[in-house]
Amino acid sequence: MKRFLSIAMALCIGLTMSLDANAKRFGGGKSVGAAPTHQTSQMAPSSPGMGGAAATAGAAGAAGAAAKAGGASRWLGPLAGIAAGGLLASMFMGGGFQGMQIFDILIMAVIAFLIFRFIAARRRKQQEHMAPAGHAPMQREVFDQKPAGGSIFGGSAAPVAARPVINAPAWFNEQNFIEAARNHFQSLQQHWDANEMDKIAEFVTPQMLEFLKRERADLGDGFQSTYIDNLNVQLDGVDDRADKTIATLTFSGVSKTSRFDQGEVFSESWNMERPQGENQPWLVAGIRQNG
């Protein structure tokens, strides 16, 4: 029984380490490409229907807690490695594998299978929760949409100190654009984790794609797991030019390598470009890390 528990613990630690090691969110958390032309006002994250002061206080508290825990979470990987090494050494030196029978090997295989099934099911549930059906809302904007009024985040939000500069074409729908951007962000993260660069190519400029391919290759070919909690999306500005429409979006939240990780707070702005013409795609042309 003691040998069985040791084997099970070693498998669990090994699988956890293999999934979370070196995981990074889309873009590697770096500034790259064409810098956004609009400055973010660094609004505190808020939720639909929340009061301004309450939302600000709650977001600040959550961000502070995640930041403190984020430093500690960086040590979880090395500590898990030390623990696994000590465990395996104890098993080998102490005779943990002595007298292993075919039944023990079968038990190990069943445990590994169940763990992988659990991880796969969790991943599918996350994708169903975050990913919309298709990418049409962000990739192609319909020209007959009318501009939406009211708050960016909906509901009766508190007045915003400084409105973004919106020099948008008549077909631009601010509310739909922000909601589609949220789905856009999550879809890109999923493709990044799965190393699906062919799908990422649909969302980014050729220059960005070359950088992303190099960055993802440095992480290895294997699947990685990244979770984004408390995602907030803010439109910083829109500029309608002769050859293209440019928009700046700021995404903030907490990036985790697993549901058990406290994560790290992030804020980054994306430079989105859309060529003039009907049925054109919005593409990520650059990313800027804020702070």
Q: Is residue 82 part of a domain?
A: no
Q: Is residue 71 part of a domain?
A: no
* Length of the chain counted residue by residue: 291
Give how many domains the chain has, as a whole number.
1
User: Would strands 227-240 and 32-33 be described as parallel, antiparallel, or unpaired?
Assistant: unpaired
Token pair 């040791």 in the structure block, residue = 6
- Of the given ranges (70-74, 134-138, 260-264, 267-271), which has the lowest mean pLDDT? 70-74
Instruction: Indicate the pLDDT class of residue 122, thresholds 50, 70 and 90.
Output: low
Instruction: Indicate the pLDDT class of residue 124, thresholds 50, 70 and 90.
Output: low
Higher pLDDT, 260 or 239: 239
From the list 54, 77, 22, 24, the residue with the least C-alpha distance to 268 is: 24
Q: From residue 3, how far is each of 67, 97, 101, 116 by CA, in Å?
A: 39, 7, 11, 22
Q: Is residue 73 part of a domain?
A: no
Q: Is residue 86 part of a domain?
A: no
- At residue 234, the pLDDT reads 97
Higher pLDDT, 169 or 21: 169
Q: Is the pLDDT of residue 174 over 50?
A: yes
- CA-CA distance, 260 to 12, in Å (whole number)? 14
Q: Is the pLDDT of residue 146 over 50?
A: no
Q: Is residue 197 part of a domain?
A: yes
From the list 136, 268, 87, the residue with the least C-alpha distance to 189 is: 268
Instruction: Indicate the pLDDT class of residue 93, thresholds 50, 70 and 90.
Output: low
Average pLDDT over residues 263-272: 96
Q: Is the pLDDT of residue 159 over 80?
A: no
Q: Is 118 exposed, middle or buried (0-12, 13-18, 19+ CB in 10 A)?
A: exposed
- At residue 39, the pLDDT reads 81
- At residue 4, the pLDDT reads 52
Token pair 């069943």 in the structure block, residue = 110
Higher pLDDT, 278 or 114: 278
pLDDT digits (tens, 9 = 90+) for 26-42: 988 899 999 998 887 65
Instruction: Indicate the pLDDT class of residue 5, thresholds 50, 70 and 90.
Output: low
Q: Is residue 233 part of a domain?
A: yes
Instruction: Indicate the pLDDT class of residue 274, thresholds 50, 70 and 90.
Output: very high
Q: Is residue 285 part of a domain?
A: yes
Average pLDDT over residues 65-69: 44
Q: Is the pLDDT of residue 144 over 80?
A: no
Look up the domain containing 190 and give its range: 24-32+166-289
Instruction: Indicate the pLDDT class of residue 276, thresholds 50, 70 and 90.
Output: very high
Q: What CATH number is attached to the domain comprising 282?
A: 3.10.450
DSSP, res 243: S
Q: Is residue 72 part of a domain?
A: no
- CA-CA distance, 209 to 274, in Å (whole number)? 16
pLDDT digits (tens, 9 = 90+) for 202-258: 999 999 999 999 999 998 888 888 999 999 999 999 999 999 999 999 999 999 988
Average pLDDT over residues 264-276: 96
Q: Can you read off the two tokens belonging to residue 167? A: 């020099």
